[in-house]
């Protein structure tokens, strides 16, 4: 059967405007809008990933600082409909987890926030090791004061329009190992669509799996630094 190809790589800070425009063009209700400044800072730290086919964006996903609290948020994931069903969101979760470990340190708390109505993203977050966080730190609710969904959320008796999920350390190690296993022999991963049977060849271009692979192997084995 014929196959398609795509490339996943870390974005550059200079690409922030292009990414911002992509979000605006897609205007997905399940993706929280991020200011250009946040996108640029994430990319400059090596924490923002893009997937492309023939230099055209088909998926975006980032990691965002949460100010003075020792947590980062994995968010802003959008996968274009033409490549859904190949597990790209799962790969992006694992790449971002690995990037946080290397760039922010293994002690950094990793969380994600998902709209409860977005069942696909909730499924992928749980599959990639995140546990529902019933009592998140209070600082996470500060942006809710200016959220455009605030009135609707309060009418439902909720503090936030999203549910928060936290990644336990043991699960982070497991997901890093899963990433290493998927790219054990090369940085090329082949995926088959679960419904159509179509094949997608995904090339991961990242130092995470080359120059920094030994550190990720050590982390997955239980080491700290």
Decide if pLDDT at 221 tops 80.
Answer: yes
Looking at residue 151, its pLDDT comes to 85
Average pLDDT of the residues of the chain: 94
Q: Residue 20: which pLDDT band, with cuts at 50, 70 and 90?
A: very high
Looking at residue 35, its pLDDT comes to 94
Looking at residue 99, its pLDDT comes to 97
Please provide the size of the chain in residues. Answer: 225
Average pLDDT on 118-132 reads: 95
User: What is the C-alpha separation between 41 and 103, in angstroms, rounded?
Assistant: 13
Looking at residue 173, its pLDDT comes to 98
User: What is the C-alpha separation between 181 and 190, in angstroms, rounded?
Assistant: 13
- Count of alpha carbons within 13 angstroms of residue 128, beta-carbon side: 26
Place of tokens 């060849």: 201
Top pLDDT among 178 and 151 is at 178
Radius of gyration of the chain (CA): 17
Q: What is the pLDDT of residues 44-85, one digit of tens each?
A: 999 999 999 999 999 999 999 998 999 999 999 999 999 999
Top pLDDT among 159 and 128 is at 128
Looking at residue 1, its pLDDT comes to 63
Decide if pLDDT at 2 tops 80.
Answer: no
**In the chain, domain spans:** 3-215
Q: 3-215 has which fold?
A: Aminopeptidase (3.40.630)
Looking at residue 156, its pLDDT comes to 85
């Amino acid at each position: 059967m014929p196959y398609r190809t795509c490339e996943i790589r870390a974005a550059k800070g200079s690409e922030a405007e292009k990414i911002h425009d992509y979000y605006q063009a897609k205007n997905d209700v399940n993706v929280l809008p991020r200011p250009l400044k946040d996108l640029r800072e994430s990319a400059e730290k090596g924490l923002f990933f893009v997937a492309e086919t023939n230099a055209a964006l088909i998926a975006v996903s980032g990691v965002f600082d949460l100010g003075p609290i020792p947590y980062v948020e994995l968010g802003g994931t959008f996968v274009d409909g033409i490549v859904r069903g190949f597990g790209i969101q799962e790969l992006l979760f694992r790449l971002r987890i690995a990037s946080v470990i290397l760039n922010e340190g293994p002690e950094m708390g990793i969380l994600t926030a998902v709209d409860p109505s977005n069942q696909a993203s909730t499924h992928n977050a749980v599959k990639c090791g995140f546990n529902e966080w019933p009592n998140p730190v209070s600082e996470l609710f500060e942006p809710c004061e200016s959220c455009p969904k605030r009135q609707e959320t309060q009418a439902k008796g909720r503090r936030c329009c999203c549910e928060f999920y936290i990644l336990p350390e043991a699960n982070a190690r497991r997901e890093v190992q899963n990433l290493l296993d998927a790219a054990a022999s090369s940085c090329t991963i082949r995926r088959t669509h679960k419904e159509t049977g179509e094949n997608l060849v995904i090339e991961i271009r990242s130092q995470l799996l080359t120059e920094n692979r030994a550190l990720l192997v050590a982390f997955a084995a239980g080491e700290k630094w």
